[in-house]
Amino acid sequence: MTHASSGGCQCGAVRYRVLGPLKDPHLCHCRMCQKAAGSYFMALGSVPRAAFALTRGEPAWFRSSGPVRRGFCAQCGTPLFLETDGSEKVYLTLGSLDDPAAVPPVSTYGTESRMPWLAEAVARPGPTTEEDEFVDGQRVDDIAASNRQHPDHDTDTWPPARR
């Protein structure tokens, strides 16, 4: 039986499926990935192009350098993947997988731009969203009740019909 993974953007407009395991899951700390993710690093893993398929929608593209283009959702802005011209691989953002915990990073890249305080910062304790009653003055329950995020599984249609 072939292993399959699915994923997509936050709003559900772009979805994908991957057949087989992701290779070289890693955290990229390079400055280009930091800017593309709007974060301190980007978690990526690669798959052969033939094992990757879009199942809903079409991504928008940004050419971040001569040979590299990055796919993202034009509706919600979620970074989804990147491709290098002439390569037979597609790099997926691991956080866009429906089950990101199933693909832990095994290496790092671009360490010249890694934040010097990162290991210390992620080791600090903090509350879960269930433990926190308010986020920026908004009730966590109210935020959850009005959530427009696509669920972590494939759906026949999205968004659901509003009653």
Judged by average pLDDT, the poorest of 18-32, 116-130, 134-148 is: 134-148
From residue 104, alpha-carbon distances to 30, 68, 144 in Å are: 19, 24, 27
Question: Is the CB of residue 8 less than 8 Å from the CB of residue 95?
Answer: no
What's the confidence (pLDDT) of residue 134? Answer: 66
Q: What is the mean pLDDT of residues 86-109?
A: 97
What's the confidence (pLDDT) of residue 163? Answer: 46
What's the confidence (pLDDT) of residue 12? Answer: 95
Q: Which residue has the tokens 């395991």?
A: 21
pTM of the model: 0.86
**Res 98 pLDDT > 50:** yes
Question: Is the CB of residue 71 less than 8 Å from the CB of residue 82?
Answer: yes
**Res 141 pLDDT > 60:** yes
What's the confidence (pLDDT) of residue 151? Answer: 80
The neighbour count for residue 46, using CB atoms within 10 Å, is 20
pLDDT, tens digit (0-9, with 9 covering 90-100), for 29-62: 999 999 999 999 999 999 999 999 999 999 999 9
**Close Cβ partners of 155 (under 8 Å, ≥ 6 residues apart):** 12
What's the confidence (pLDDT) of residue 68? Answer: 96
CATH C-level class of 4-145: mainly beta
Most confident region among 99-103, 132-136, 158-162 by mean pLDDT: 99-103
What residues does each domain of the chain span? 4-145
Maximum CA extent, the chain: 51
What's the confidence (pLDDT) of residue 3? Answer: 84
Edge-to-edge strands, sheet with 42-48: 60-63, 68-72, 79-84, 89-93, 42-48, 23-28, 107-109
Nearest to 4 by CA among 68, 53, 59: 53
pLDDT, tens digit (0-9, with 9 covering 90-100), for 65-86: 999 999 999 999 999 999 999 9
How far, rounded to the nearest angstrom, does the alpha carbon of residue 151 sit from its chain's CA centroid? 14
- Average pLDDT of the chain? 90
**Close Cβ partners of 43 (under 8 Å, ≥ 6 residues apart):** 25, 26, 27, 28, 93, 94, 95, 100, 105
- 143 or 1: which carries more pLDDT confidence? 143
102 pLDDT tier (thresholds 50, 70, 90)? very high
Question: Is the CB of residue 122 less than 8 Å from the CB of residue 114?
Answer: no
